Structure 1
Amino acid sequence: MILDKIENQHLYTGLGTKFLKAFEFLNTTNLKEIASGEYPIDGDQLFAIVMEYETTAKSENSFEGHQKYIDLQYVVTGTEQVGVVSRINQTPFEVHKEDDYDLYHSNQAAFFTLDKGMFMIFFPDDLHMPSVYDDQPSTVKKVVIKIAV
């Protein structure tokens, strides 16, 4: 897992050309005006999903994990808490192989604040629970870029 501010994106150029293209999308797209939906960047190897939602209580969420894609999650507006725990010794309660996500419960997670202008990168070992509020619900606009492993 990586947690950082967008102005530090240059630190991650060594992760490869897919990450360079992902950051290029974030830098060249009017993210405040773009509508919710899916946007191709490089076929099924790299695409963006733009979403807006209200954060919810931790008890209303589950951890998710992916096998085929790395998630780069960037907050355009709003604030949320995001839980992270390793996939090691975790068992999914739902498996959605065709849609590349499994759902998990865990009491072992660390939670981080993700504010406007920040991003997190989740690798296949990183189970994550986004969309959680701390004190009260918040409206969040986020771009999730799916990067093929």
Structure 2
Amino acid sequence: MVIDKIENQHLYVGLSSRIDKALNYISKTDLVNTEIGKYEIDGQNVIAIVQEYISKNPEDAKQESHFEHIDIQYIISGEEMMGLGILTNQVPHTVIHEKDVAFYPNDSTPFKLEKGMFAILYPNDLHCPGMKCGENSKVKKLVVKIRI
């Protein structure tokens, strides 16, 4: 798991060529004016998903992990709390292989992500995105799915 500001992306060059492509896309794309939707960065290997939503109450958020993808979650505008944890011996209550996701009881530690911040989340990183910071508010986020 990596959490940082996009201006520090140079520190993570070389983690993988696909992560490099994703961070490059984030830093060089006018995401504020990018429409909601799905965009191929490197075919099906690196896919960007621009989304907007109202942040959730913590009890409505779901802690998850993935099997075949690394997530990079970047806050374009707004802010949210994201629960974070390390997958050790937790047992998922729901697994949906065709959507590459497993859901777990939420026992994560919340961390505030603000505009311009990103999180790189590997398959062993539990994350519970989209939780409110104080009040429910609008968030525009980019989620990049990187096939491992």
TM-score bracket, normalised by the shorter chain, equals over 0.9
What SS does the aligned partner of 1:10 have? Answer: helix
RMSD (CA atoms): 0.9
Q: Give 2:86's aligned residue.
A: 86
Give 1:86 deviation, angstroms. Answer: 1.4
Q: Give 2:133's aligned residue.
A: 134
Q: What TM-score, normalized to structure 1? A: 0.96
Q: Give 1:44's aligned residue.
A: 44
What SS does the aligned partner of 2:18 have? Answer: helix
What SS does the aligned partner of 1:136 have? Answer: coil
Give 1:28 deviation, angstroms. Answer: 2.2
In terms of mean alpha carbon deviation, does 86-95 or 121-130 score higher? 86-95
Q: What TM-score, normalized to structure 2? A: 0.96
What SS does the aligned partner of 1:32 have? Answer: helix
What SS does the aligned partner of 1:88 have? Answer: coil
The 5 Å alignment of 1:1-149 reads 1-107=1-107, 109-149=108-148
Gap regions ≥5 residues in structure 2: none
Any idea what the Cα deviations from partners look like across 1:1-49, whole Å, max 9, x if unmatched?
A: 1110001000000202111111121122210111111100111111101
Q: Which runs of 4+ in 1 moved over 3 A?
A: none
**Aligned length in residues:** 148
Native 8 Å contact 2:6 2:27 kept in 1: no
Any idea what the Cα deviations from partners look like across 1:54-105, whole Å, max 9, x if unmatched?
A: 0011101110110000000000000000001112111111111011011111
Alignment partners' CA distance in 1, 2:45 and 2:121:
16
What SS does the aligned partner of 1:25 have? Answer: helix
Native 8 Å contact 2:106 2:128 kept in 1: no
Percent identical among aligned pairs is: 41
In terms of mean alpha carbon deviation, does 114-123 or 12-21 score higher? 12-21
